[in-house]
C-alpha cells in the first residue's frame, strides 16, 4: 500500500501514530508475558490494559488461537 502525504506535518503525524500503536502492542505483549509467567495477577494485567478480567481472558484466548 502506498501512502501519499500532502505535507511534512501530515507525514510526521502519521509516523507518530504508527510508533504509538507499535509501543502499545509491545506493552500489551509484555503484560501478557508477565501474566503468563505468573509475575502479575490477572486483575493487575487486565487493569494495566484498561480491560475487565473477562475481556483480558478473551484477549488471551485470541492470542493462543493466533499462535
Express each pLDDT in 12-66 by its tens digit. 999 999 999 999 999 999 999 999 999 999 999 999 999 999 999 999 999 888 7
Distance between CA atoms of 50 and 56, rounded to whole angstroms?
9
Question: Which pTM was predicted?
Answer: 0.76
For residue 46, CA distances in Å to 11, 35, 42, 51, 61 come to: 33, 9, 6, 5, 14
Domain boundaries, the chain: 28-67
Amino acid at each position: 500500500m502506498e501512502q501519499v502525504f500532502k505535507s511534512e506535518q501530515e507525514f510526521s503525524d502519521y509516523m507518530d501514530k504508527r510508533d504509538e500503536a507499535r509501543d502499545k502492542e509491545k506493552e500489551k505483549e509484555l503484560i501478557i508475558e508477565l501474566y503468563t509467567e505468573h509475575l502479575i495477577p490477572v486483575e493487575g494485567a487486565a487493569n494495566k490494559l484498561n480491560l475487565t478480567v473477562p475481556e483480558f481472558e478473551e484477549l488471551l484466548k485470541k492470542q493462543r488461537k493466533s499462535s
